[in-house]
Amino acid sequence: MSFNPSLLRDQEHKEKFMALLRTYAKKGGTALQINVISPDILREAQKHPDQYANLLVRVTGYNAYFVHLGKAIQDEIIKREAHAI
């Protein structure tokens, strides 16, 4: 699941997000990967990869360091995070 950082903009929204996670666990959820990232951060990582060496993203079935991916895949991830697809 991917969320924009604006989701956690204030205490009220943080509490709602925590309620989501608690409900997931109470309903028996055991495997959940959450990404909180914006397309803007990903674009910055493309421009300045040395500053984002530890940025992990989800790529169809596996995690990868964003800056080690080819530009075409990076662009696809940015589109996905921007909900363009």
- The pLDDT tens digits of the residues spanning 3-61 come to 888 888 999 999 999 999 999 999 999 888 788 888 999 999 999 999 999 999 988 88
User: What is the pLDDT, as a whole number, of residue 46?
Assistant: 97
- Spell out the residues 6+ positions from residue 44 whose beta carbon is closer than 8 angstroms to its own: 51, 52
Residue 61 has what pLDDT?
82
User: At 85, is the pLDDT very low, low, confident or very high (cuts 50, 70, 90)?
Assistant: very low
* pLDDT score of 80: 85
Alpha carbons 14 and 16: distance in angstroms, whole number: 5
**How much is the pLDDT for 5?**
86
Cα–Cα nearest to 63, from 83, 85, 34, 43:
34
Residue 75 in 3-state DSSP? helix
